[in-house]
């Protein structure tokens, strides 16, 4: 069985590529990052093909002082279309082609024409479902709507229709597709794994303070305003909230109106530093209003840091509410406050959740279980018999 992949940048697709390569199935992975960035992923150069010019240029311009949203949107569109045309011109005959959502419209059709299967791998909820939730959030906070990019949803929905299967990392993401009219049997849930070699408990949290951590993009979609409001209500004489992640433009003006006492914004942290911070925190809070399955949840659990997440995060596919962490409704400041206060007031509870989180993550098998689930699905879709062991 020969499988090809296409991804903008890296995401989790290089973990999948490693799993396929280990099983002898990886034909090629196509990416929009340069090899200078991708070589750290550890795959043989012969299995990686790169199309970096547009994506790299867009990335660099996004870090400049002035880059109009309209130009950024156009660059994103050019990258998407050009990458698809490029993979379409280079892909060999294969049994299945797995493309990150937004990629592979032309290439997927070509693979299908040659007898292969096309799989859309979507890391979050249905595109239009996601857009509706985010638009409502802008309205809630009385913020101007972002620059409209209707071409994204149009292309995404063409891909959803064309694909032989759609894979998502969580049940909440699967439900969003069904709610938007996609047949349930077409959408397959494959939760992400955790790099247990990189994320492990190295130290315990301090006893004389209460350390709360958020890791991810600092944005409206991640529910940051609700976290800041809830943390402000938390009663503790020595509390600290660390927000590790890049601040997005959609929330910059709003942050100045929100409570930030005892809050530190660190910007993005390297993986090793993030793992250390997780080990030293009493709780990771993920208050997202829309999500696929944030990798930081499993990473924190592997470090012995319990997770307080909303129902929108896919947490139900990682842990059981009340056993390894807590799951609360999204946009519910009272619920976030109550659970934080409960853990702050009960060190024994925090310890029990911490130990249970570590045990739970170990049962998930790192990324190997992810690879096994993909392997079964690919054999099912292609009709190829499993390899004899």
Q: For residue 95, what is the domain's CATH number?
A: 3.40.50.2000
Classify 243 as helix, strand or coil.
strand
377 part of a folded domain: yes
334 part of a folded domain: yes
Total count of domains within the chain:
2
CA 277 to CA 275: how far, in whole Å? 5
Dihedral (C-alpha) 119, 125, 127, 128: value to the nearest 10 degrees?
130
Q: Verify that 373 and 339 share a domain, yes or no.
A: no
Q: Verify that 67 and 151 share a domain, yes or no.
A: yes
Return the pLDDT at 66: 76
259 part of a folded domain: yes
Task: For residue 91, give both structure tokens.
Answer: 């892909």
Task: For residue 85, give both structure tokens.
Answer: 């045309």
Task: For residue 104, give both structure tokens.
Answer: 């592979």
Q: Verify that 104 and 183 share a domain, yes or no.
A: yes
User: Residue 231: which domain range?
Assistant: 210-363
Q: Verify that 242 and 345 share a domain, yes or no.
A: yes
> pTM to 2 decimals?
0.90
Q: Verify that 352 and 376 share a domain, yes or no.
A: no
Q: Verify that 11 and 107 share a domain, yes or no.
A: yes
Return the pLDDT at 17: 97
pLDDT in tens, the chain (389 residues): 999 999 999 989 999 999 999 999 999 999 999 999 999 999 999 999 999 999 998 888 877 777 777 788 888 889 999 999 999 999 999 999 999 999 999 999 999 999 999 999 999 999 999 999 999 999 999 998 776 678 889 999 999 999 999 999 999 999 999 999 999 999 999 998 888 888 999 988 999 999 999 999 999 999 999 999 999 999 999 999 999 999 988 898 899 999 999 999 999 999 999 999 999 999 999 999 999 988 899 999 999 999 999 999 999 999 999 999 999 999 999 999 999 999 999 999 999 999 999 999 888 777 888 999 999 999 999 998 776 55
Task: For residue 179, give both structure tokens.
Answer: 């709610």
Q: Pick from 208, 162, 159, 166: which is nearest to 186 by CA?
A: 166
Q: Verify that 175 and 264 share a domain, yes or no.
A: no
CB 282 within 8 A of CB 350: yes
Q: Pick from 330, 307, 346, 339: which is nearest to 233 by CA?
A: 339
Q: Verify that 338 and 226 share a domain, yes or no.
A: yes
Q: Verify that 47 and 168 share a domain, yes or no.
A: yes
């Amino acid at each position: 069985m020969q499988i090809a992949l296409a991804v903008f940048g890296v995401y989790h697709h290089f973990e999948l590529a490693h799993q396929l390569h280990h099983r002898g199935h990886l034909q090629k992975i196509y990416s929009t990052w340069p090899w200078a960035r991708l070589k750290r992923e550890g795959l043989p150069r012969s299995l990686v093909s790169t199309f970096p010019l547009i994506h790299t240029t867009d990335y660099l311009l996004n870090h400049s002082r002035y880059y109009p949203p309209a130009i950024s949107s156009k660059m994103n569109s050019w990258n998407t279309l050009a990458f698809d045309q490029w993979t379409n011109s280079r892909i060999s005959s294969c049994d299945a082609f797995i493309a990150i959502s937004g990629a592979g419209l032309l290439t997927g059709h070509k693979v299908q024409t040659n007898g292969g299967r096309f799989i859309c791998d979507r890391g979050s909820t249905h595109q239009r479902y996601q857009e509706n939730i985010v638009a409502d959030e802008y309205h809630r906070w009385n913020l101007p709507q972002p620059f409209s990019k209707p071409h994204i949803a149009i292309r995404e929905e063409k891909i959803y229709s064309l694909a032989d299967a759609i894979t998502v990392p969580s049940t909440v993401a699967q439900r969003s597709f069904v709610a938007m009219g996609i047949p349930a049997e077409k959408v397959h849930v494959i939760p992400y794994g955790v790099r247990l070699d990189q994320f492990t408990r190295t130290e315990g949290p301090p006893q004389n303070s209460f350390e709360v951590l958020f890791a991810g993009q600092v944005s409206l979609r991640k529910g940051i305003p609700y976290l800041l409001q809830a943390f402000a209500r938390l009663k503790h004489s020595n509390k600290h909230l660390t927000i590790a992640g890049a601040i997005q433009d959609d929330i910059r003006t709003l942050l100045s109106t929100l409570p930030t006492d005892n809050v530190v914004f660190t910007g993005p942290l390297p993986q090793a530093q993030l793992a250390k911070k997780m080990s030293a925190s009493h709780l990771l809070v993920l208050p997202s209003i829309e999500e696929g399955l944030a990798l930081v949840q499993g990473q924190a659990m592997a470090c012995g840091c319990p997770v307080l997440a909303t129902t929108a995060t896919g947490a139900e596919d990682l842990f059981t509410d009340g056993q390894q962490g807590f799951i609360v409704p999204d946009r519910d400041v009272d619920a976030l406050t109550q659970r934080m206060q409960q853990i702050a007031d009960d060190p024994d509870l925090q310890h029990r959740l911490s130990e249970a989180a570590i045990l739970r993550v170990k049962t998930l098998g790192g990324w190997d279980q992810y690879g096994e689930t993909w392997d079964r699905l690919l054999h099912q879709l292609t009709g190829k018999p499993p390899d004899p062991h």
